[in-house]
Amino acid sequence: MKVKICKNDFSLQWQGIYHLALVDYPEINKWELEKIAKFVAYEKMYGRTTKIECENIALQHQVYSYIENSKERFPFIPRDKREAGTFNVDGKCVTSNHLSHTCTVETAKKILKTGKLLSATKVFGLTGEQLVQDKRNAAGDPADYFDYVMFG
């Protein structure tokens, strides 16, 4: 996996690259460092190494230094609600006192009807390895991602 720290209007994880837009690039907030450290710790938990890329070498060194001294462990609970924030169309970090889960309208209707929010492996009755091969996995997510419900 790779974390590519960038100046952008939004963050996106796609094809093994987490394009992480900082709120005030090239400045990095403590909660952003914690978010990166948790991502790296999660990936390590599943046997994957994470490379950090950034055009700003000083920032890249700062991130590696933080990770090296980090003690993040599962479960990875946000200390700051901005860790679970998202960006609006103006590129501003938006937070809430609630978590969100992105899904299709049809899936949302099923969630509301059943009262259950399930991981993809439980919804489809398939293994993570099978779901990796599914055409709907356009982002190229690894098998373990399908065992969880992702919140933002």
* pTM across the whole model: 0.81
Each residue's pLDDT, cut to its tens digit, for the chain (152 residues) gives 999 999 988 888 999 999 999 999 999 999 999 999 999 999 999 999 999 999 999 999 999 999 999 999 988 888 888 887 777 778 777 888 877 777 889 888 988 999 999 999 998 999 999 999 999 899 999 999 999 887 76
Q: pLDDT tens for residues 16-42?
A: 999 999 999 999 999 999 999 999 999
Q: Structure tokens of 30?
A: 């403590």
> In the chain, what's the furthest Cα-to-Cα distance?
50
